[in-house]
Amino acid sequence: LAVFTAQAQAQAYPTRSITMIVPFAAGGPTDVISRIVTGHMAQTLGQTIIIENVVGAGGTTATTRASKAANDGYTLITGHMGTHAASVPLYPKLAYHPEKDFEPVGLLAGTPILILARKDFPPKDLKEFITYVKANESKVNAAHAGVGSVSNVSCELLNSILGVKPIGVPFNGTGPAMNALVGGQVDYMCDQIVNAVPQINGGTIKAYAVATAERNPSLPDVPTTTEAGLPAFQAQAWNAIFAPKGTPADVVAKLNAAIVKALEDEGVRKRLLDLGSVIPAAADRTPAALGTLVKNEVAKWTPVLKPVN
Ligand code: MLT
């Protein structure tokens, strides 16, 4: 009977609204990407998807909560390169493991990293930025979204390439960090492109370079790090949906199909592309492909990042 009940439940799923935990503040990249894709998924699934922003500890507070949620498909999380990979080596006491405590559901978007600064930060290009930050390392500060966040990990990578240790200024997400950059309260930041495109195009911040091999079509005037003289700095993050471990396979399959349908929708694609995201190729959209990505990313970051506690 229990087996039949579980099967019937999975067939009927979803019969009520779904909560999507976003581990950072509203208005940041994780939140924006989640809202774009889940807006379409909700139509496919015939149920509301409620975004719940749960902030703290570079996204690990929310991810811990999601790992312990009921594995019935009604609580999900949009995680990323930080929460589901870099956090492993950074937090030795992490209360979850991205591979053991979650079912991968589907990749939403790739997000190139940009080196950004407040509008009136003196350096006018990346070469000047490098010289300036090296000369003023005890005075300059870099905003980020908490230890283990993408902005933190990617700027740590940049800072280690430059051999500098600026003052880090943590926020609950790069939504609020971006506000501080626009307001001139912080000097620079490494952020995922979706957060930055509207501000760069609006002229409220500076972009020195995009850390990918090619320029991004949404920012044709922003040089790559290679063009700007720092080829060693290459960084692209990713955002994806995860369910607590043990969520039934047919529920995961339904959610994945809804993600795939969203990623094929012209309106969704346009919104993601206009914000500079990279839409995953068809082969990268399966739960198994996301599982492999997480495994590879944990293996990639583990030897690079040092524990914080
Ligand atoms: C990050 O740095 O991890 C993200 O930008 C967080 C966010 O979505 O605000």
Tens-digit pLDDT profile for residues 38-50: 999 999 999 999 9
pLDDT digits (tens, 9 = 90+) for 180-235: 999 999 999 999 999 999 999 999 999 999 999 999 999 999 999 999 999 999 99
Q: Which atom of ligand 1 is nearest to the CA of 152?
A: 2
48-72: pLDDT as tens digits: 999 999 998 899 999 999 999 999 9
| Enclosing H/E stretch for 112 | strand 102-118
Burial string for 263-298 (b: 16+ CB within 10 Å, else e) reads bebeebeebbeebbbbbbeeebbbbebbbebbeebb
Dihedral over alpha carbons 82, 84, 90, 94 (to 10 degrees): 130
276 near 219, Cβ under 8 Å? yes
ipTM tops the 0.90 cut? yes
24 lines ligand 1 (CB under 6 A): yes
148 touches ligand 1 (CB under 6 Å): no
CA atoms within 13 A on the CB side of 183: 9
Q: Give the separation between CA 212 and CA 224, rounded to whole angstroms.
A: 6
- Helix (H) / strand (E) element for 130: namely helix 126-135
> Could you tell me the distance, in angstroms and rounded to a whole number, from the CA of residue 2 to the centre of ligand 1?
41
- Cα 44 to chain centroid, rounded: 24
Kindly state the tokens that stand for 81. Answer: 């390169």
